[in-house]
Structure 1
């Protein structure tokens, strides 16, 4: 599939807008359209408050949030003009439980680009929005690290492989990026699962049929978490993009992130393409 339509969440409190800028730069190379969504979110009252939050406070807070979203959307539009990209900036006011409205705006796109949850520049509900987009949109999600300030490139791609259908969907989603890759490494962590046959041979053969040359690496499982093993290898190998499945468990109709997925979202150091 060719990427022609990119959806991105515009940062409100991070003036650098790392993820949205990366989405625009990527779109300029792919000749793609970008839709940017700036969110005004209803303030969440602390659970320990003994009395209801005054209505006038909520009205003022929502108005301020909507003004901030409009300012961010305007900044996104100006940035799109610099890149010469066909782009549309939208704003939306989201009340408690309103994430399905975000999914509806994102699901008819080829790729979602969103910034990592950053404690230093906290975007309201960012972690919950990433989780919702990953599990409910049906669209590949490219998460950009909060400190990332370079163009996104798939020159050296590292694929975290465990043989699951979720990992296979991530490989399918990554095919457009792999077309321009000069290095593709399939990486597995020893002891993370039992293999039938030669580990990684199946996905290597699949990619070879798409005219990709790949290498297969099995990393030793130390005392470190799987996520730490993967990220250390990504850093040592000079990978510019990580591809992996996003895992979760369906509990009471809400997804709970799997351990490796949660750790990667918190600790990632390179752009990471995930699907569920």
Structure 2
């Protein structure tokens, strides 16, 4: 399924206007439905609708369900497939069949809508809600060199073919201590790209991701820290800036948070010891 779609644009430069063909990122809704309950009394219920770029939909669903605390392991899923009901929804409805032993706490799920930065009183409650789903602060022997982080934006950009055409897709990449990229997923939504990445790792039994870092192509909101924490990620880096609540949650998680990773520089907001201090000192001295 294509990540891009053709479009006609009128390019304006100074006083002139020129018609030209162009490409834009595809955006379509995905409805995630759950099949659940005992074998003799199966039920179906929609759990989420998200605007996403089609592709890796199963991974998106699994990443979402894992970071919402609905599934914990591969055996919790019996099947994951697209539903075809009518031509209007073809390919945009995904049904995930849960194992009969999986009990869905619908009341908790409905309460677990993490508030945005527009709420000035919800920070502590948001963090406490996430902590209730995690085993606590991340303990991981993972560190990187500054040069490894400096190289990540370029390496990730080289793999983003759809971004090169449209400039409209976010990326989430999984990297090891040497900066090797193991997985990369793209989507028009930042949180969807990360859900796809976590879903892919979930399906390969890589969780928790205690020996890896995640690199994001945009800014860092609290929901991205939350998802990374639940996946056990010790190091989260991004091209953009983090929000205040993202920094606060990263500190509670024991996660290293690096922002503005571009142009041979970056800022560390928490757990700076995971960046090789001796190398940093040597760079600073030159």
TM-score using structure 1 length: 0.30
Q: Which has the higher strand share?
A: 2
The structure in which a higher percent of residues are helix is 1
Scaled by the length of structure 2, the TM-score of the pair is 0.29
Q: Which has the higher contact order (CA 8 A, sep 6+)?
A: 1
